[in-house]
Amino acid sequence: MCYGRCARCIGHSLVWLATLCIVANVLLYFPNGETKYASDNHLSRFVWFFSGILGGGLLMFVPAFTFIGLDQEDCCGCCGHENCGKRCAMLSSVLAALLGIAGSGYCVIVAALGLEEGPRCMDASGQWNYTFASTEGDYLLDSSTWSNCVEPKHIVEWNVSLFSILLALGGIEFILCLIQVINGMLGGVCGYCSSRQQVRTSYDAEIKQCF
């Protein structure tokens, strides 16, 4: 199995997922394409937590490019053997994966809280509040109540769609980073890219060279 190739695939996937997270988070600031609600602070408070921009977005580029660049990274070699350096690089990628798990976890938690509380909107009495905060998320299953939000128009659909996208993207990022933790540890122990027989031969040779 080629652990390095697997890491690169995960890295490229994370780049696209992080980009989509940023786009989804940015769209939350402009219900119906309007900017006045953001400037008047009439958005859900969880929009301002930047879960998609920071957690699932910019922070995710760190592990993504780390995984993609594993081909060129060898920890400057170790014990005078290149493959040993590759193993060191694979193990170090586990730290980057843990950072990705933290970022994606943050994105998932904030998106879930945003869905549960619902949007900040104007009700029929003209008051701006969290109309569905007391429903504990039950409003998600009863779309007939969504019309209780008078302004912005279709804000419930807007928030539910985008927070759901962030929840899904963050969840996929979390799983991919978790896979890389396992992949990095296996790559560090078994070798960057090798068969079972090559692993045994390479490991024995490196042990002799180190000692």
Residues 108-133: pLDDT tens digits? 999 999 999 999 999 999 999 999 99
Nearest to 1 by CA among 202, 203, 198: 198
Top-confidence residue, 36 or 78: 36
Q: Is the pLDDT of residue 193 over 70?
A: no
**In sequence order, which residues have a C-beta less than 8 Å from that of residue 46 and are 6 or more positions away?**
110, 111, 113, 114, 117, 163
Tell me how many degrees the CA angle 154-158-163 measures, rounded to the nearest 5.
Answer: 150
With cut-offs at 50, 70 and 90, classify the pLDDT of residue 209.
very low
With cut-offs at 50, 70 and 90, classify the pLDDT of residue 73.
low
Phi, psi of 120 (to 5 degrees): -90, 125
| Amino acid, single-letter form, for residue 155 | I
**In sequence order, which residues have a C-beta less than 8 Å from that of residue 207 and are 6 or more positions away?**
none
With cut-offs at 50, 70 and 90, classify the pLDDT of residue 199.
very low
With cut-offs at 50, 70 and 90, classify the pLDDT of residue 197.
very low
Tell me the three-class secondary structure of 114-134, residue by residue: HHHHCCCEECCCCCEECCCHH
Nearest to 171 by CA among 119, 106, 122, 114: 106
User: What is the per-residue pLDDT across 156-183, written as a single tens digit (0 to 9) for each?
Assistant: 999 999 999 999 999 999 999 999 999 9
Q: Is the pLDDT of residue 144 over 70?
A: yes
Nearest to 166 by CA among 34, 57, 60: 57
The per-residue pLDDT for 198 is 47
With cut-offs at 50, 70 and 90, classify the pLDDT of residue 195.
very low
The whole-number average pLDDT for the span 95-115 is 97
**In sequence order, which residues have a C-beta less than 8 Å from that of residue 23 and are 6 or more positions away?**
none
Determine how many CB atoms are found less than 10 A away from the CB of residue 82.
11
The whole-number average pLDDT for the span 58-76 is 82
Helix (H) or strand (E) holding 11: helix 3-27
The per-residue pLDDT for 88 is 76
* CA pair distance 48, 94, nearest whole angstrom: 30
How much of the chain exceeds pLDDT 70, in percent? 82
Q: Is the pLDDT of residue 206 over 50?
A: no
Tokens 């279709």 — which residue?
A: 154
Q: pTM of the prediction?
A: 0.84
Q: Is the pLDDT of residue 66 over 70?
A: yes
* CA pair distance 178, 167, nearest whole angstrom: 16
DSSP code, position 135: G
Phi, psi of 154 (to 5 degrees): 60, 30
